Amino acid sequence: ERARKIIHMYEEMGIDKSRILIKLAGTWEGIQAAKILQKEGINCNITLVFSFLQAAAAAQAGAYLISPFPGRILDWHKQQGGKEGYHPDADPGVLATKRMYAFFRKYGYDTICMPSSWRPSRGADVVGSDVDEILALAGVDEMTIPPALLEALMERDGSEVTKQCDASSDAATCCDPDFKLTKDGFEGY
């Protein structure tokens, strides 16, 4: 109901709802709210996406975009006894985000994959590692990149930025089935 009120408020000011993105948490309830709002033409961003199941459920609900957090996924793996540093191509957050992106492209979901929340894959003590995840996900639909990391990217040689995500080739490598999630399956994971 709150999202509809916000949309109405903006429409009264002459701002079309197509210019507004409602941000919802990647919980089952948030994703189901997005399903309803998307059917009403209200675009939603499912945020706080840490797992493939959240991403799949959001795509199946018709969410406009998701915001996976590769840096926080990496943090979790480190806290669970994972290594202190990873090659960017082996970074658990990068791998999770690539899996989400590949799933969307393989099954024709229109949901945009827009990662944010970045960490240095190789470790904070490695010079230049602050943009590891950004470089490893170059080519994904969109990214949210804070000013400090944009500055770090600008200081690099342009040849260091190469396309790492490609809709066609990533879709071809997706091994996940297009299963339909239920609330029990989602929450039981």
* pLDDT tens digits, one per residue of 125-178: 999 999 999 999 999 999 999 999 999 999 998 888 899 999 999 999 999 999
pLDDT at 146: 97
pLDDT at 83: 87
Give the residue with greater pLDDT, 188 vs 124.
Answer: 124
- CA–CA gap between residue 170 and residue 79 (Å, rounded): 29
Interior/surface letters 145-169, b for 16+ CB within 10 angstroms, e for the rest = beeebeebbeeeeeeeeeebbeeee
pLDDT value at 82 more than 80 = no
pLDDT value at 91 more than 90 = yes
Q: Which residue has the tokens 């406009």?
A: 64
In contact, 140 and 115? CB cutoff 8 Å: yes
**Catalytic option among 5, 17, 23, 180:** 23
In sequence order, what are the residues at sequence separation of 6 or more whose Cβ sits closer than 8 angstroms to the Cβ of residue 9? none
23 noted as active-site residue: yes
pLDDT value at 32 more than 80 = yes
User: If phi over 0 gives left and psi between -120 and 50 gives alpha, with beta otherwise, what is residue 81?
Assistant: left
**Mean pLDDT (the chain, rounded):** 95
- CA–CA gap between residue 44 and residue 78 (Å, rounded): 31
pTM over 0.85: yes
- 37 pLDDT band, cuts 50/70/90, is very high
**Residue type at position 136:** A
- 81 pLDDT band, cuts 50/70/90, is confident
Q: Which of 40-44, 90-94, 169-173, 182-186 has the weakest average pLDDT?
A: 182-186
